[in-house]
Amino acid sequence: MKNIKLHAIILALIIVSELIGTHTLKFGIGRIVLLPMLYALLLGILTTPKFLNLSGKKEMLDASSLVGVTLMLLMARYGTLVGPTLPKILAASPALILQEFGNLGTVLLGVPIAVYLGLK
């Protein structure tokens, strides 16, 4: 709480981002979901130009030290979202395991072949 200006900027970004809300764009069978976190990131970038004089070097340095903590909270949130769908994930586990064998096969088979062919 040493940098009150930083906390005020972050609070304002969060409020604006949450007011914008979540938007879903449909593309064929897929969807792109734009979450408030994306808006907060973009709005945070817009606070850095010098002519706006919103956030200076001190605020940026203080904010960079908080990124790790924020990402841990985000991962905890994702964990709570994945937990209820764990039976579905376990039901799909054979496909996921085969996919990982494909990734492993690329490393174990593809890399030696590439080196043998002279690719560095």
Condensed to tens digits (0 to 9), the pLDDT of residues 58-116 reads 888 888 888 888 889 888 888 888 778 878 877 877 887 888 888 888 888 888 898 89
How many CB atoms neighbour CB 90 within 10 A?
A: 10
Q: Long-range contacts of range 76-81, CB-CB < 8 Å, 24 or more positions apart?
A: none
Contact 55, 47 (CB under 8 A): yes
pLDDT of res. 62 = 83
* Alpha-helix runs per DSSP H in the chain: 4-20, 36-46, 57-82, 86-91, 93-105, 111-116
Q: Which two tokens stand for residue 35?
A: 């979450």
pTM of this structure: 0.58
Query: What are φ and ψ of residue 26, in 5° steps?
Result: -95, 130
* Structure confidence by residue, pLDDT tens digits, 24-68: 999 888 899 999 989 998 998 888 888 888 888 888 888 888 888
Q: Which of 104, 3, 100 shows the shortest CA–CA distance to 60? A: 3
